[in-house]
């Protein structure tokens, strides 16, 4: 009978977990769709300006493997980056504050609003179940992780914070690791982060004079356990994805005009592929933050863009203290204050690729900082 009761409890627990996993994305998407406005998905005015000759464009697509990326990917990439930004905001917050004050629920809601936005923004493109399966999975994981961290930090964490009365050496170490993790995600995948190494570093932290032994032990036990779980999950993910990862996805092909060879000469991991004279030059470079950081430098050297990833529109986000005016050649997707830093705003825009060389300088002149160009 005892065995039967335990089996019944285990089955009931599993069923509840399944129900929760199902309800999280349903509730999240319902919240996101109900709290975000519809978007204008008509083509941007001027998007077809200075389009390349069709015969030449077809030739480029036929001859350069991986040149053409799905246009919808510029939008569907954003929710993944929203998780990176949440990690970055968390790192900035705990660098100065106790982690119990971080607005985890605001970031949960923000993810599902972001996801609802990209569903609307990409509605003109063909639906792909695999794309949304992945986003639902990471959204659910993100929601559960934030909820559990909020629950822990506002119960056990609050108690040990009160006992300690100040930030301990273990708190400072974990804030440092949070900053390293946020920076790591700019160009690498979460499962490549050395969790086990950081756990060893945490266990080696020596208390400062006056540090609470209770708080120190609790931080080491809690975050040591989290690092152990994440390292195990990361190892499984690395093994599972090794056989299916595509190295070409690490690169982006760019068609640009101007003195492209000279402008890209000292750019890392950049290779010229085709030179079409007055019609421009195609080059390949690294994706993600490497490419984002490169764009203002190229624009300053007189470069304009014809296509990026084979597309003529791209999503961009900027950070600013105030709302920014939308330049010609762009359309606003959203604008909101950062939950952990309300004095700073994030604005998302759809930009015509062939207007990127005027839009980016206009935004910078208005006081915005280019955060990311979502390169498919």
Query: Which residue is listed with tokens 């304009």?
Result: 304
Query: Average pLDDT of 91-106?
Result: 96
For residue 254, pLDDT over 80 is answered with yes
Is residue 52 a contact partner of residue 307, using CB atoms and an 8 Å limit? yes
Model pLDDT, residue 13: 74
Model pLDDT, residue 244: 47
Least confident of 224-233, 245-254, 342-351, 365-374: 245-254
Model pLDDT, residue 211: 97
C-alpha–C-alpha distance, residues 161 and 232, integer Å:
29
Q: Where are the alpha helices (DSSP H) in 185-269?
A: 195-203, 213-242, 260-263
Model pLDDT, residue 130: 80
Query: Average pLDDT of 144-163?
Result: 97
Give the whole-number percent of the chain exceeding pLDDT 70. Answer: 96
CA 313, chain centre distance (Å): 19
Model pLDDT, residue 40: 84
Query: Average pLDDT of 213-231?
Result: 96
C-alpha–C-alpha distance, residues 347 and 78, integer Å:
12
Is residue 128 a contact partner of residue 71, using CB atoms and an 8 Å limit? no
For residue 245, pLDDT over 60 is answered with no
Ordered by where they begin, the domains of the chain are: 54-73+247-374 (3.30.70.250), 76-242 (no CATH)
Integer angstrom CA distances of residue 169 from 55, 61, 152, 173, 208: 63, 55, 20, 6, 6
Integer angstrom CA distances of residue 71 from 139, 288, 376: 22, 16, 7
The mean of the pLDDT values for the chain is: 92
Which one-letter DSSP state was computed for residue 368?
-
For residue 248, pLDDT over 50 is answered with no
4 vs 355, residue with greater confidence: 355
CA angle, residues 351, 25, 241, in degrees to nearest 5: 75
Least confident of 114-128, 210-224, 277-291, 351-365: 114-128
Model pLDDT, residue 295: 97
């Amino acid at each position: 009978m005892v065995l039967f009761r335990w089996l019944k409890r285990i089955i009931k627990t599993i069923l509840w977990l399944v129900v929760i996993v199902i309800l999280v994305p349903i509730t999240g998407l319902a919240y996101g769709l109900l709290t975000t406005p519809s978007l204008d998905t008509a083509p941007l005015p001027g998007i077809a300006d200075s389009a390349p000759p069709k015969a030449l464009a077809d030739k480029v697509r036929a001859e350069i493997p991986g040149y053409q990326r799905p246009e919808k990917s510029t939008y569907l990439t954003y929710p993944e980056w929203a998780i990176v930004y949440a990690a970055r905001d968390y790192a900035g917050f705990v660098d100065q504050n106790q982690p119990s004050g971080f607005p985890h629920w605001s970031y949960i809601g923000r993810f599902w609003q972001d996801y609802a936005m990209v569903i609307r923004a990409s509605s003109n493109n063909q639906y792909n179940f695999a794309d949304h399966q992945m986003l639902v999975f990471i959204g659910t994981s993100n929601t559960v992780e934030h909820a559990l961290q909020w629950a822990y930090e506002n119960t056990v964490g609050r108690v040990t914070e009160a006992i300690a009365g100040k930030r301990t050496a273990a708190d400072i170490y974990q804030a440092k690791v949070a900053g390293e993790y946020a920076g790591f995600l700019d160009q690498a995948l979460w499962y490549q982060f050395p969790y086990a190494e950081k756990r060893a570093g945490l266990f080696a932290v020596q208390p400062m004079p006056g540090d609470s032994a209770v708080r120190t032990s609790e931080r080491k036990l809690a975050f040591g356990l989290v690092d152990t779980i994440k390292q195990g999950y990361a190892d499984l993910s690395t093994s599972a994805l090794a056989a299916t990862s595509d190295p070409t996805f690490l690169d982006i092909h760019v068609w640009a005009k101007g003195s492209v060879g000279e402008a890209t000469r000292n750019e890392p991991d950049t290779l010229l592929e085709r030179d079409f004279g007055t019609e421009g030059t195609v080059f390949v470079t690294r994706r993600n933050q490497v490419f984002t950081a490169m764009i203002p430098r190229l624009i300053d050297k007189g470069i304009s863009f014809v296509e990026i990833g084979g597309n003529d529109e791209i999503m961009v986000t900027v950070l600013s203290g105030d709302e920014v005016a939308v330049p010609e050649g762009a359309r606003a997707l959203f604008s909101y204050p950062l939950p952990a830093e309300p004095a700073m705003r994030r604005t998302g825009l759809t930009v015509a690729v062939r207007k990127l060389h005027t839009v980016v300088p206009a935004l910078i002149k208005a006081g915005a900082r280019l955060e990311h160009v979502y390169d498919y």
